[in-house]
Amino acid sequence: MTFRKSSMGGTRRMKTLYPLVAAALVVTGVVVTFDERPDPPELLGGGIAVGRDGKAIAIPPGRRGRYVPHTSFFVPADPHLLSTYAVPAAGEAQRSLDWLKKGNVPGSSAPYGEMVERALLDLRLLTSDNGARVAALQPKWRYVWPRDASFTVAALSVTRHHFEARQILDFLRRIHPGQGIWQARYLPDGSGKVPDDRGEQIDGSGWVPWAVWVWFTSNTDRRNAAQALQELWPTVASSADAAARSLGKEGLPPASADYWEKRERRTTLGTAAPLLLGLRAATDLARKTGRNADAGRWSQAARRLDAAITSTFGRSGYPRTAPDGGADTAVTFLAPPFAPHDPGVDHAVAEAAGKLALANGGMKPGSAWKRDGIAWTAETAFFALAEASSGRGQQARGRLAWLAAHRTPLGALPEKVDPAGKPVSVAPLSWSAAMVVLAAAALESSLGLAPPRQ
């Protein structure tokens, strides 16, 4: 997201404006103070802000300051650094607030409401004008993961920011692979090229059709939604066909890297569950638009995959790999709000929550994950989302409170939290930001994220 360049010129003028910005914050009832807590040494980012060129800029760990309320404009504590950041031109702060109010900020009256607002603002700023939504601004994360982008689409859709969600979908449309099997991540320049040799990751063929379905079904502008779906249909169809083709004799897809992002020898729940979700989503979209042949083909594939997941993973309590791969966060992909309630899945989610809980209060991805005591924020938020969607609101609120308490001093959601409870790795991480928004929204109302069961 590019903001208009500031018309303010020169460091001297910035220094003159600094007291005026501070005064404006006081007038609005916000006291400008500066957080002096030291950042963890392994933290790679303190937050993000609007730079002088109007584009997103990373705030280094240890840099002190405050955001102009309800915006991504940052006022550093050190006046010598003022020239690094954009000063909002007349009306820009109000426009940021209007953007938030145009939709909704889930949990705005809850203790974690400020975290959700910052997460939404970060998601907006991490989305470029061409629709590329990068995972984070640090070099190794400044790419587009189809999975993470899909979750951002869902978060923006449930908060009624459909325009920005559509921009992301249009970027995915422009780079979508003709055969429907997505790469792990892409360059944000829209070329469709990849930054390395990680290779294909077929779970994207499930997440992307689901993201289109969430956007389409939640959009109240039906004319706009129908036109957009027509343009997005080749992306949906190629992804769903790839998911259907991938199913083997037993009804499961082949081994593939999933959200753990490592090579796998056996099919994981983290691959099978997203493909089931995507096939259901594509089927429902096809039925809603009269594409009966597509609907029949994908519905049959969804039923095969659903039966295979139940007979293999379900028989063993939904482990990461059947029959003995250990508990895994991916079990939440089969639970509400992604699927109708199922007693066996509900029990497996509760069991996994107990097995994956860490001493620092967060969650690790799975039982087979390395035992380093480091919690992952997206995985923690997945359990919050499942609990919020299954009538366990107290547990979900507790996890959101934990996430809010383990952000950077500037309020950014980190990728990880170390054993001592300090935020580490990149911040903000867009996947975690999207998950927090979804979990908070699920506590307020039932989310329409589950396509009909086939």
Residue 29 has pLDDT above 90, yes or no: no
Structure tokens belonging to residue 384: 């919050």
Mean pLDDT, the chain, whole residue set: 92
Tell me the pLDDT band of 33, cut-offs 50, 70 and 90.
very low
Give the model's pLDDT for residue 28.
36
pLDDT of 92 over the 60 cut: yes
Question: Which pLDDT band holds residue 20 (cuts at 50, 70, 90)?
Answer: very low
Q: Which long-range contacts (CB under 8 A, 24 or more apart) does 371-375 make?
A: 372/419, 373/418, 373/419, 374/416, 374/417, 374/418, 374/419, 374/424, 375/406, 375/416, 375/417
* Residue 6 confidence (pLDDT): 43
What are the helix (H) ranges across 11-158? 11-27, 92-102, 113-125, 146-158
- Cα separation, 214 vs 281, in Å, equals 8
Cβ–Cβ < 8 Å for 288, 279:
no
% of the chain residues with pLDDT over 90: 89
Local confidence band at 454 (pLDDT 50, 70, 90 cut-offs): confident
Query: Which pLDDT band holds residue 81 (cuts at 50, 70, 90)?
Result: very high
Residue 22: the pLDDT is 41
Q: Which CATH architecture has domain 103-444?
A: Alpha/alpha barrel (1.50)
Model confidence pLDDT, tens digit, residues 145-188:
999 999 999 999 999 999 999 999 999 999 999 999 999 999 99
Per-residue pLDDT at 38: 40
This prediction has a pTM of 0.92
- If one compares 30 and 368, the residue with the highest pLDDT of the two is 368
Q: Is there a contact between 230 and 211 (Cβ–Cβ < 8 Å)?
A: no
What are the domain boundaries of the chain?
11-94, 103-444
Structure tokens at 386: 């499942």
Please tell me the distance from the alpha carbon of residue 171 to that of residue 253, in angstroms, as a whole number: 27
CA–CA gap between residue 345 and residue 323 (Å, rounded): 15
**Per-residue model confidence (pLDDT) at position 4:** 53
The per-residue pLDDT for range 337-375, each reduced to its tens digit, is 999 999 999 999 999 999 999 999 999 999 999 999 999
